[in-house]
Amino acid sequence: MKKNRALILPAVALGIALIVIAIVYWVEPAKSLPSFFPGHDSHSTTHHLKHGIAAFLVGLVAFAFAWFQTGGPRTKTATK
């Protein structure tokens, strides 16, 4: 896989945003979620555990992607 260093910062930002979204899903009841969140229900008092878990796992995947973009062997060019 070719490393693209320009993708590291957006992947980290996406990971942070998804972790924050997961926390919002876990803490707020469905009626208190922002209206653009999937699972918003103005008459429900339940929490969306599954949505939070999904957002958390995708956030971790974004962090792993960023980590793999930073690491790996560096190739040195031979100079004569």
Tens-place pLDDT, residues 19-57: 999 999 888 887 777 777 776 666 565 667 888 999 999
| pLDDT for 57 | 97
- Asked whether residue 2 carries a pLDDT value surpassing 80, the answer given is no
Query: How far, in Å, are 7, 75, 76, 77 from residue 80 at the CA level?
Result: 33, 16, 13, 10
Whole-model pTM: value is: 0.75
Rounded distance between C-alpha atoms, residue 26 and residue 56, angstroms: 10
Judge whether 56 lies within some domain: yes
For residue 45, the enclosing domain spans 5-70
Judge whether 41 lies within some domain: yes
Percent of the chain residues topping a pLDDT of 70: 75
Judge whether 80 lies within some domain: no
- Asked whether residue 17 carries a pLDDT value surpassing 60, the answer given is yes
- The number of folded domains in the chain is 1
- Asked whether residue 4 carries a pLDDT value surpassing 60, the answer given is yes
Identify the residue whose tokens are 């320009």.
Answer: 6
